[in-house]
Amino acid sequence: MERVPVLKIGDILLVSIQIDMEDQVALQLQEDLAERIVATGVHGVIIDISALDIVDSFVGRTIAAIASVSRVLDAETVVVGMRPAVAITLVELGLSLPGVRTALNVELGIALLGRRETVTIDGDDEPADDGSDPAAVHTS
Amino acid sequence: MSDDSQRLPVTTDQDVVRVRQLVRTVAVAVKLSLVDQTKIVTAASELARNTLVYGGGGEVEVSRVQNDRRAGIRIVFADQGPGIIDLELALTDGYTTGGGLGLGLSGARRLVDEFEIDTEPGKGTTITIVKWCR
Ligand SMILES: Nc1ncnc2c1ncn2[C@@H]1O[C@H](COP(=O)(O)OP(=O)(O)OP(=O)(O)O)[C@@H](O)[C@H]1O
Ligand SMILES: [Mg+2]
């Protein structure tokens, strides 16, 4: 079975999904990420799906589960690089990825995670969400 | 009605990936738009997984179709599983017996132009979907 590689870059784990994943590969990725978050103590996870030409309910559900599990382990997940056709299809399928933060690309995803961290250090847990943040794209 | 059709077994996770790839290839060949390719591949992925998980495995047939006005792609998913007892319920958003999101059937129906289910308790399920070029 193939495995999706997980890279550690500073305080972030970066996952770039480059293959059409079998369901088991997606589940394995979910497990691998949880273990790596605990082992490394990172506070951010970026999942780059720019190479995926579809996201079906299984992959969508796995991404949502990864985001929930990381949150419990004190890491924030940002999904980046969703193709426009994939976004249109996901919404029509009925999958809104609630609770999953998204950004247009890896750079904006890193910026989004970095900003959250700064805000937390300042002692303000909830960053103001006034919709003016260019890096933040909400799916729900 | 169909010139050439291709069949694939659906008995493993890997087969579901193969179904997605075959559907993509044919969707490109009939010149569906990028968004429509994405929709039909996503619908096929949902239905092939249902064939595997609930139907206990089965077969998929992918064909190019043509009517007097347009070209399109037709996909038939067939299994000899338990059938769908309450079809109306199964087609409701959020209904699942397998711990999923319950979006596969209802979502796939929204993503295609034609959607037909033939199911009988104890005999199996056959689902036919069609996407036409615009
Ligand atoms: N081929 C089939 N044979 C028997 N029952 C089926 C078949 N396909 C679907 N079903 C039934 O219909 C229900 C709804 O299917 P649907 O694909 O919408 O949701 P799901 O597979 O449970 O979750 P999701 O697809 O969102 O992960 C299933 O839970 C199952 O009970
Ligand atoms: Mg399903």
Which CATH number is A87's domain given?
Answer: 3.30.750.24
Query: For ligand 1, is residue B79 a contact (CB within 6 Å)?
Result: yes
ipTM computed for the complex: 0.93
Q: Could you identify the residue written with the tokens 């589960």?
A: A65
- Confidence at residue A140, expressed as pLDDT on a 0 to 100 scale: 45
Distances (CA, A) of A22 to A28, B17, B49, B107, B117: 10, 6, 11, 20, 26
Distance from CA of B134 to the nearest CA of A (A): 16
Specify if A126 maps to a domain: no
Inform me whether the C-beta atom of residue A65 falls under 8 Å from chain B C-beta atoms. no
Distance CA A108, CA A66 (A): 20
**What's the CA gap between B26 and A68, in Å, rounded?**
37
- Torsion angle of C-alpha atoms A28, A32, A34, A39, degrees rounded to 10: 160
Is A75 contained in some domain?
Answer: yes
How many CA atoms, within 13 angstroms, populate the side-chain half-sphere of residue B32?
Answer: 26
The CA distance from A1 to the nearest CA of chain B, in Å, is 10
Helix (H) or strand (E) holding A138: strand A137-138
Q: Three-class SS of residue A22? A: coil
Residue A133 has pLDDT above 80, yes or no: no
Residue B121 has pLDDT above 50, yes or no: yes
In a domain, A62, yes or no: yes
Closest residue on chain B to A24 (Cα): B13
> Between these two residues, A9 and A117, which has the higher pLDDT value?
A9
**Distance from the A125 Cα atom to the nearest Cα atom in chain B, whole angstroms:** 31
Q: Please indicate whether, in this complex, the C-beta atoms of A22 and B13 are within 8 angstroms of each other.
A: yes
**A55–B42 CB contact, under 8 Å:** yes
Query: How far is the CA of B92 from the CAs of A5, B103, B105, B107, B108, in angstroms?
Result: 37, 8, 8, 9, 12
Q: Is A32 exposed, middle or buried (0-12, 13-18, 19+ CB in 10 A)?
A: middle
Structural class in CATH, domain B6-132? alpha beta
Any domain includes A131: no
> How many beta-carbon contacts under 8 Å exist across A and B?
71
Task: Provide the number of structural domains found in chain A.
Answer: 1
Read off the DSSP letter of residue B56. Answer: S
Partners of B79 in the β-ladder: B58, B125
B124 lines ligand 1 (CB under 6 A): no
Return the pLDDT at A88.
Answer: 97
pLDDT over 60 at A125, yes or no: no
Domain ranges of chain B: 6-132
Residue B42 has pLDDT above 70, yes or no: yes
Q: A61 touching B, CB under 8 A?
A: yes
Rounded to the nearest angstrom, the gap between the alpha carbon of residue A11 and the centroid of all alpha carbons in its chain is 14
CA distance A72 to A52: 27
Q: Residue A37 belongs to what domain range?
A: 6-114
- The answer to whether the CB of B77 is under 6 A from ligand 1 is no
Query: A91 touching B, CB under 8 A?
Result: no
Residue B66's pLDDT band (cuts 50, 70, 90): very high
The span from the CA of B132 to the CA of B114, in Å, is 9
Q: Average of pLDDT values for B77-105?
A: 94
